[in-house]
Amino acid sequence: MELNLPSYDLRTDEQDGKAVVYDPIRQKYVRRTPEEWVRQHFVQYLIQELGVPSGLVAIEHGFHYEGHPQRADVLVHDRRGDPLVLVECKAPDATIRQSAFDQGARYNAVLGAPFLVVTNGQEHYACAIDFEAHAYAFLDELPGYEALLARRCDG
């Protein structure tokens, strides 16, 4: 399925009869599920189009929510190592529902990123989180990395 993202030349292969894609962040081949395909393309979009330094991107970042281990699909950090953008990825054929935002919000209650993105590779929703007001505002698009830093600092 075509994605609504720029085309990137991702390294793919087959291992043990399964399709795999190379993840340059984790520096290994991972199973090429539809969700992983979206994740790898969105990470490249963050790096190549929005100027996010690759060293500040974490994939499947582990944390605990209500005592249970969880993993954030993609977590972009600022230069101090603080969370900046949490990205929740879904498969291209998955309809983005309120439950995807709820999942991202639950994760973000622990992680505290001021920006949240939910994407299925076809549709991308980005919002700025106002933790003090317990509110969020949808963005027309996710700004570049430097603009994200500036917006976060501006409050």
Among the listed residues 67, 27, 28, 25, the one whose alpha carbon sits nearest the alpha carbon of residue 46: 25
Domain presence at residue 12? no
Per-residue pLDDT reduced to its tens digit, 6-55: 999 999 999 999 999 999 999 999 999 999 999 999 999 999 999 999 99
Name the pTM for this structure. 0.92
Per-residue pLDDT reduced to its tens digit, 51-75: 999 999 999 988 988 888 989 999 9
Total domains, the chain: 1
Helix intervals (H) in 79-132: 98-111
CATH number at residue 47: 3.90.1570.30
Place of tokens 């954030």: 72
| Residue ranges making up the domain that contains 44 | 35-154
Question: Cα–Cα–Cα angle for 113, 20, 93, nearest 5°?
Answer: 60
Domain presence at residue 13? no
Domain presence at residue 9? no
* Helix, strand, coil in percent for the chain, rounding step 5: 30, 35, 35
CA–CA gap between residue 136 and residue 19 (Å, rounded):
38
